[in-house]
Copies of this chain bind each other. A is one copy, B any other.
Amino acid sequence: MSSQETPRRPTIADVAREAGVATSTASVVFSGKAKVAPATRERVLAAAADLGYAGPDPRAASLRRGRSGIVAVVLEGHLRAAFLDPVTTALMDGLTDGLAELSAGILLMRDEPGEEGAGIADAPVDAVVLIGCSARTRSSLEIVVGRGLPVVVIEGDAGESIPRITLDNAAASADIARHVRDLGHRDVALVTLPLDTERERTAITPERLANATVDVTIHRLAGTREIFPDALAISAAGSLIDEGVLVGRMLLADPATRPTAVLAQSDLLAVGVIRAAEEAGLRVPEDLSVAGFDGIALDGLGDLSLTTSVQPAVEKGRAAGEQIARMLRGEPGITQHLTCRFHAGTTTGPAPR
């Protein structure tokens, strides 16, 4: 009935009017982009407080500036699974560092194939980081590129001109294998990461390998097979200690066919294998040598130090963040190849004769 009909949120224009200044002046007071006389400034702030104005609307500001201050991170699979992997969390950590100069927020997204609406297509982001680019991620990539957003792909092949952050997975795996071979092992079994999004726990056949989509798994396996071409390989359903236990049991069940060394594609899997060995009454490394991959800080291995290849997980994230920052500055993003460092631990030893 009265003039209170529309109690809509005040805008910067209202504040300016209340303070008796131009809207541009009020705007500048909040953005700090120019000098304003202290007196004017005070009046604007007072008016804002008076009206309950909490600062510029970020949505309007994004449109005007053409920047939202948000970077999307696209993860494969369920969010929870992703963060269960210490490598991912380390990576995220580095990413926040690398993005620090932008003071950008991180928007978590899954690469949901079918779903509408939720996707990257409708998110107000300035750039995108794709992690573990697999077949499913490809569609996300297309959308992002179509929208002209800067992209960086971590550990995956995005083709042509997309900057990537890669690891020398094959070479590092070969290093580990060589170490084990030099210790005299000939009878070696492998535990790999999942081959595809099916995440099946199964012996790897040439056909299956041909259909594999996860680059990390493929590359690490290729590196290992440079040294042990015929080693039995079983894919785990994920990078988890419990998966390592399960696969370890399969591998160690039959004393007749039991290998003298097991090379796992992740430290978590390796820990699981060690646990399976303990269950079976085998001593590590006397009866069985075990190596991992990643070099994450392992919680709960007792006095053993895992033989592994230490990957620069945090560095990976940081590098991605830095490339994003560059691209947002208008400079071209560049692909970076990071390398792992071999660590000889106490979980590998001379082959039992």
| Chain A residues engaging chain B, CB cutoff 8 angstroms | 9, 52, 54-55, 57-63, 66, 68-70, 72, 78-80, 83-84, 86, 89-90, 92-93, 96, 103-109, 115, 117-118, 121-125, 143, 146-148, 240-242, 268, 271-272, 275, 299-300, 302
Give every chain B residue within 8 A of A143 (Cβ-Cβ).
54
Minimum Cβ distance to chain B for residue A71 (Å): 10
Given the known inter-chain contacts A83-B92, A108-B105, please indicate yes or no for A63 contacting B54, CB distance below 8 A: no
Given the known inter-chain contacts A103-B117, A103-B118, A107-B107, please indicate yes or no for A96 contacting B123, CB distance below 8 A: no
Closest to A9 in B: B148
Given the known inter-chain contacts A108-B108, A271-B300, A302-B275, please indicate yes or no for A89 contacting B83, CB distance below 8 A: yes
Q: Are A241 and B300 closer than 8 Å at their CB atoms?
A: yes
Q: Which of B9, B70, B92, B147 contacts A79 (CB 8 A)?
A: B92
Minimum Cβ distance to chain B for residue A118 (Å): 4
Give every chain B residue within 8 A of A118 (Cβ-Cβ).
103-105
Contacts A/B (CB < 8 Å), 9 sampled:
A54-B147, A55-B122, A58-B123, A59-B63, A68-B124, A79-B89, A84-B89, A106-B107, A268-B299
Q: Which of B124, B299, B302 contacts A70 (CB 8 A)?
A: B124
Give every chain B residue within 8 A of A148 (Cβ-Cβ).
9, 54
Given the known inter-chain contacts A70-B70, A80-B90, A148-B54, please indicate yes or no for A61 contacting B103, CB distance below 8 A: no
Give every chain B residue within 8 A of A66 (Cβ-Cβ).
59
A84 vs B106: C-alpha distance when bound (angstroms): 17
